[in-house]
Amino acid sequence: MIELRSTLAGRITLAVLSTLILLFLALPIIVIVVTSFGKDAFGSFPPEAWTLGWYKQLFADGSKWPAALSLSALVAAMTTVFSLILGMTAATALVRSELPLRSAVYGLVLAPLVIPQVVVALGLFLLFEPASMLGSPIAIALGHTVLASPIAVMILMATLKGIDERLEDAAASMGANRLTVWRRITLPLAMPGMVAAGIFSFVTSFDEFFISQFLSSVDTVTLPVQVFNVLQYNVDPSVTAVSAILIAVAVVALALVGVVRKLSGSGKQDGLLPTEPGLGLPAGSETAS
Amino acid sequence: MAGTALAPTPAPGAPTPAPGKRGLGRALSDRRTRFGLLNATPVVVYLLILFVYPIFSTLMLSLKGEEGGFTLHWYTDAFQGANLEILLTTLRISAETSLLALVVGFVLASAISRLKPLWAGLAMLVVVVPHFISALVRTYGWIILLGDNGVVNNALTDMHVPGAPVQLLYNEIGVVIGTTAVMLPYTVLLLFAVMKGIDRRLLAAAASMGAGRITIFRRVYVPLVAPGLVNAGVLCFILCLGYYLTPALMGGEKQTMVASLIDEQVMKQNQWNGASALGIILLLLTFAGLLLLRLLKSAGEALRNRGTAS
Longest dimension (CA), chain B: 79
In this prediction, residues B18-43 reach a mean pLDDT of: 72
Does B63 map to a domain?
Answer: no
A11 & A115 share domain: no
| Residue-range definition of the domain harbouring residue A185 | 73-287
Does A67 map to a domain?
Answer: no
CA distance A259 to A282: 26
> How far does the CA of residue A103 sit from the closest CA of chain B (Å)?
9
Cβ separation of A27 and B151 shorter than 8 Å? yes
| Interface pTM, i.e. ipTM | 0.86
Does A25 map to a domain?
Answer: yes
> How far does the CA of residue A18 sit from the closest CA of chain B (Å)?
5
Residues of A in Cβ contact (< 8 Å) with B54: 120, 122-124, 126-127
Q: Residue B273: which CATH number? A: 1.10.3720.10
Q: How many CB pairs under 8 A join A and B?
A: 332
Per-residue model confidence (pLDDT) at position A44: 62
Q: How far is CA A132 from CA A127, A129, B276, in A?
A: 9, 5, 19
A106 & A219 share domain: yes
Does B55 map to a domain?
Answer: no
Q: Which residues contact A34 (CB under 8 A, 6 or more apart)?
A: A45, A46, A47
Q: Which residues contact B13 (CB under 8 A, 6 or more apart)?
A: none
A19 & A150 share domain: no
Element holding A169 (H helix, E strand) = helix A165-173
Name the β-bridge partners of B66: B68
| Residue A176 predicted with pLDDT over 50 | yes
pLDDT band at B4, cuts 50/70/90? very low
Residues A235-266 have pLDDT tens digits of 777 888 999 999 999 999 999 998 988 887 65
A106 & A236 share domain: yes
Residues of A in Cβ contact (< 8 Å) with B176: none
Structural domains of chain B, count: 1
Residues A49-76 have pLDDT tens digits of 788 888 888 888 878 899 999 999 999 9
Per-residue model confidence (pLDDT) at position B279: 95
A129 & A260 share domain: yes
> How far does the CA of residue A93 sit from the closest CA of chain B (Å)?
4
Q: Are B79 and B162 in contact (CB under 8 A)?
A: no
Q: How far is CA B256 from CA A156, A265, B88, in A?
A: 39, 48, 10
Rounded to 10 degrees, what is the CA torsion of B248, B250, B252, B257?
A: -40
Does A151 map to a domain?
Answer: yes
Comparing A26-30, A98-102, A116-120, the range with the smallest average pLDDT is: A98-102
Cβ separation of A101 and B143 shorter than 8 Å? no
Residues of B in Cβ contact (< 8 Å) with A123: 51, 53-55, 57-58, 279
pLDDT band at A273, cuts 50/70/90? very low
Q: Are A196 and A274 in contact (CB under 8 A)?
A: yes
Q: Residue A168: which CATH number? A: 1.10.3720.10
Per-residue model confidence (pLDDT) at position A42: 62
In this prediction, residues A30-58 reach a mean pLDDT of: 81
Does B127 map to a domain?
Answer: yes
Mutate to test the interface with A, among B51, B107, B234, B268 (most CBs of A within 10 A): B51
Does A86 map to a domain?
Answer: yes
Name the β-bridge partners of B68: B66
Residues of A in Cβ contact (< 8 Å) with B33: 97-100
| Residue A38 predicted with pLDDT over 60 | yes
A84 & A22 share domain: no
Element holding A146 (H helix, E strand) = helix A137-162
CA distance B16 to B13: 8
A279 & A168 share domain: yes
Q: Are A21 and B107 in contact (CB under 8 A)?
A: yes
Cβ separation of B44 and A105 shorter than 8 Å? yes
Closest to A143 measured CA to CA, from B46, B39, B6, B262: B46
Comparing A61-70, A144-153, A229-238, B163-172, the range with the smallest average pLDDT is: A229-238
CA distance B93 to B240: 8
Residues of B in Cβ contact (< 8 Å) with A22: 108, 123, 126-127
Residues B206-258 have pLDDT tens digits of 888 888 888 888 888 999 999 899 999 999 999 999 999 999 999 988 889 99
Per-residue model confidence (pLDDT) at position A217: 86
Please give the residue of chain A at the shortest CA–CA distance from B221. Answer: A4
Mutate to test the interface with A, among B86, B140, B186, B224 (most CBs of A within 10 A): B140
Per-residue model confidence (pLDDT) at position B204: 86
Per-residue model confidence (pLDDT) at position A41: 62
In this prediction, residues B41-48 reach a mean pLDDT of: 94
A44 & A112 share domain: no
Per-residue model confidence (pLDDT) at position A111: 93
Q: Are A137 and A78 in contact (CB under 8 A)?
A: yes
Does B33 map to a domain?
Answer: no
Please give the single-letter amino acid code of residue A234: N
Per-residue model confidence (pLDDT) at position A212: 94
Per-residue model confidence (pLDDT) at position B24: 60
- Give me the residue from B37, B201, B249 closest to A231, CB to CB: B249
Closest to A105 measured CA to CA, from A123, A85, A89, A124: A89
In this prediction, residues A175-199 reach a mean pLDDT of: 89
Per-residue model confidence (pLDDT) at position A209: 94
Q: Which residues contact A138 (CB under 8 A, 6 or more apart)?
A: A78
A167 & A34 share domain: no
Per-residue model confidence (pLDDT) at position A2: 59
Does B27 map to a domain?
Answer: no
| Residue-range definition of the domain harbouring residue B258 | 77-309
Does A90 map to a domain?
Answer: yes
- Asked, as a colleague might, if the bond just before B42 is cis with ω within 30 of 0, I would say no
| Residue B2 predicted with pLDDT over 50 | no
Structural domains of chain A, count: 2
- Give me the residue from B123, B135, B275 closest to A22, CB to CB: B123
Does B22 map to a domain?
Answer: no
> How far does the CA of residue B154 sit from the closest CA of chain A (Å)?
9
CA distance A248 to A230: 20
Q: Are A110 and B57 in contact (CB under 8 A)?
A: no
Angle at B121 between CA A76 and CA A194, to 5 degrees: 30
> How far does the CA of residue B276 sit from the closest CA of chain A (Å)?
7
Does A149 map to a domain?
Answer: yes
Mutate to test the interface with A, among B4, B39, B49, B240 (most CBs of A within 10 A): B39
| Residue B164 predicted with pLDDT over 80 | no
Closest to B55 measured CA to CA, from B255, B268, B242, B183: B242
Does B158 map to a domain?
Answer: yes
Residues of B in Cβ contact (< 8 Å) with A26: 126, 130
Instruction: Report the percentage of chain B scoring pLDDT > 90.
Output: 54
Phi, psi of A2 (to 5 degrees): -80, 125
Does B30 map to a domain?
Answer: no
Mutate to test the interface with A, among B21, B122, B132 (most CBs of A within 10 A): B132
pLDDT band at B25, cuts 50/70/90? low
Does A57 map to a domain?
Answer: no
Cβ separation of A29 and B262 shorter than 8 Å? no
Burial code (b: 16+ CB inside 10 Å, e: under 16) for B85-95 equals: ebbebbbebbe
> How far does the CA of residue B100 sit from the closest CA of chain A (Å)?
12
Q: Are A238 and A65 in contact (CB under 8 A)?
A: yes
CA distance A185 to A177: 11
For the ranges A129-133, B91-95, B193-197, the one whose mean pLDDT is highest: B91-95
Cβ separation of A253 and B204 shorter than 8 Å? no
